[in-house]
Amino acid sequence: MKTAVQTDDQQNKPTDSRYAPVNGIDVYYEIYGEGMPLVLLHGAYMTIEMNWSKLIPELSKTRKVIAIESQGHGHTPFSERTLSRATLASDVEKVGSS
């Protein structure tokens, strides 16, 4: 629940955002809240904001939410590297360990 002084923008600001250099590209991710980690991956042609902005405030009340933007989506640039499920899974794994 929002208080009188909180706006939607204030409630949805990450506690941290950065790029992780993984597998030859810089993968963008945002962190919200504290607690047991929960990784969010957006759908095709989506971004963190488009997919998760309404859900992150609730999830981050009790969890450390790590939201990742995949190659060619949002803040993570397009790359000429070959995309595969294995590559994308490796990106997520390496962001988690950065």
The Cα–Cα gap between 18 and 1 comes to 27
Contact 15, 31 (CB under 8 A): yes
| Single pTM value for the model | 0.83
In this structure, what are the phi and psi dihedrals at residue 75, rounded to the nearest 5 degrees?
-85, -15
> What's the distance, CA 14 to chain centroid?
9
Nearest alpha carbon to residue 67 among 33, 42, 84, 34: 42
Query: What domains can you pick out in the chain, each with its CATH number?
Result: 14-96 (3.40.50.1820)
What lies within 8 Å, CB to CB, of 61 at 6+ separation is: 33
> Digits of tens for pLDDT over the chain (98 positions)?
444 444 454 457 899 999 999 999 999 999 999 999 999 999 999 999 999 999 999 999 999 999 999 999 999 999 999 889 999 999 999 998 87
The Cα–Cα gap between 98 and 82 comes to 22
